[in-house]
Amino acid sequence: MKLTRLLLLILIAVVALPVAGEVLVRSFPTLLPVNGQIRMQAIMMKDKVLPDKEIGFVRLPGLHQQVKTMDFSYLRETDSRGFPNRDPWPARADVVVLGDSLVMGEGTGLDQSFVGHFKSANPDVQVVNLGIAGAGPDRQLLAYRKCGSNLKPSVVLAFLYLAADITNSEHFDLWRREAPETDYNRFRLDLGRSKEPRGWLNRSKLAGVISSRFETRDRASQVVETADGSTVFLDERTLTYVRQKPRPEQVECLIGPLTALRQLTEAGGASVYVVLIPSKEEIFAGADSVVNEVRGALLRAGIEYLDLYPLMERKANARSPYFCRDIHLNEYGSQVVAAYLTEWWRRRASVVGHSELSLSTHQGSR
């Protein structure tokens, strides 16, 4: 009897302890190894979206969502059309911003985003942000055609986040060719999940914690301690991706839509500038294979671009412009980008104003 009871207790312990450990780790995700924390951070950022047959999806209109993660807590907001603005829109915009979630104030909120800081520094400049999560240049083009061209801007800023935008464009192209009647957000997320390891052991958070105790590789290559004492986690898959030279067709999936965007904006009297915004993996690991290829392609296509890479590299030497686990810019990084854009905008306005004055003077003397 005693032996039976002892065996029963052992069996209960064998079953209960792993379950309790799994619950504990999931309740305290900072116990996870680096890759696990990065994935859990992304899960905590779960979005609320509205399907759109033309551009895939937009964020839920009129959203006021409190987002709380390991890295931050902030209010996620959208306007009545599902974009990261506050109503009402101006009848005409000076600047239209295009891009993925990097332009949407993730982690900071609208006011502390770089678009928000730019607006505050330039109160007379009307800015409309058409940022959409996971939007490469193809979806940016469609968003501008649908919602931006009627604003008659003088400048369009199309942000490229090269750590993800080639993949974003490939997923959108695949969806349009193979499953355009389905929910695009679900389609792209399912594609991402299909690359995740399968099996209970691979999905177990507790198993990940235990196995990480026998590995030092991720600490050496994925954890950066910055000069200001901040810790930054680098994603293993992103590191692998940004160190590889992209194929010509991958670069073309960016350049093709950007060329079409330039033609569309110029037809409406606007100028388009691509803005290259780096990932923390590119900055802290010195990975420039992708951006070098894209820089060359933009030059060959005659598309003007603003390059944030050198600036962010300099700033990151003193203080991290990124959150620890999350991919987005923190408040400091947002301030850095806003200051750069403000300086560029004012310098451009001075040059444009001088050119117009010179043209007017020349025409008047004829």
Position 43 pLDDT exceeds 80: yes
pLDDT at 176: 97
DSSP category for residue 329? B
101: left (phi over 0), alpha (psi -120 to 50) or beta: alpha
Dihedrals φ, ψ of 43, to 5°? -65, -40
Choose between 308 and 16: higher pLDDT.
308
pLDDT at 237: 94
Choose between 64 and 202: higher pLDDT.
64
Choose between 209 and 339: higher pLDDT.
339
CATH of domain 34-364: 3.40.50.1110
User: By C-alpha distance, which of 270, 311, 312, 309 is closest to 292?
Assistant: 309
User: By C-alpha distance, which of 74, 51, 49, 53 is closest to 63?
Assistant: 49
Percent of the chain with pLDDT over 90: 77
Position 318 pLDDT exceeds 50: yes
The reported pTM is 0.86
Cα–Cα separations (whole angstroms), residue 26 to 31, 206, 228? 9, 8, 30
pLDDT at 210: 44
Beta strands in the chain (DSSP E): 49-52, 56-59, 64-68, 73-77, 95-98, 127-129, 155-160, 223-225, 231-233, 271-276, 305-307
- How is residue 277 written in tokens? 């915004």
pLDDT in tens, 282-291: 999 999 999 9
pLDDT in tens, 99-121: 999 999 999 999 999 999 999 99
Specify whether the CB–CB gap between 133 and 42 falls below 8 A: no
What is the DSSP pairing of strand 56-59 with strand 305-307? unpaired
Specify whether the CB–CB gap between 103 and 159 falls below 8 A: yes
pLDDT band at 193, cuts 50/70/90?
Answer: confident
Dihedrals φ, ψ of 293, to 5°? -65, -40
Average pLDDT, the chain: 88
pLDDT band at 5, cuts 50/70/90?
Answer: confident
Neighbours of 184 (CB within 10 A): 22
Start-to-end CA distance of the chain, whole Å, equals: 113
Question: Please, which residues have CB within 8 angstroms of residue 44's CB and are 6 or more apart in sequence?
Answer: 67, 68, 69, 70
pLDDT at 22: 46
pLDDT at 192: 77
Dihedrals φ, ψ of 287, to 5°? -90, 115
pLDDT band at 201, cuts 50/70/90?
Answer: very low
pLDDT at 103: 99
What is the DSSP pairing of strand 223-225 with strand 56-59? unpaired
pLDDT at 206: 44
pLDDT band at 215, cuts 50/70/90?
Answer: low
pLDDT in tens, 69-97: 999 999 999 999 999 999 999 999 999 99
- Region 197-210: mean pLDDT is 48
- Region 299-327: mean pLDDT is 98
Domain boundaries, the chain: 2-27, 34-364
Position 308 pLDDT exceeds 50: yes
Position 203 pLDDT exceeds 80: no
pLDDT at 160: 99
pLDDT at 68: 97
Residue reference for tokens 């954890």: 223
pLDDT at 234: 98
pLDDT at 217: 53
- How is residue 13 written in tokens? 């312990």
Query: Helices 34-44 and 205-212 meet at what angle, rounded to 10?
Result: 150
Beta strands in 140-210 (DSSP E): 155-160
pLDDT band at 4, cuts 50/70/90?
Answer: confident
pLDDT in tens, 224-278: 999 999 999 999 999 999 999 999 999 999 999 999 999 999 999 999 999 999 9
Going 358 to 359 to 364 to 366, the CA torsion angle's sign is positive
Position 358 pLDDT exceeds 60: no
Lowest mean pLDDT among 5-19, 134-148, 165-179, 309-323: 5-19
pLDDT at 94: 98
Percent of the chain with pLDDT over 70: 81
Residue reference for tokens 């997320």: 189
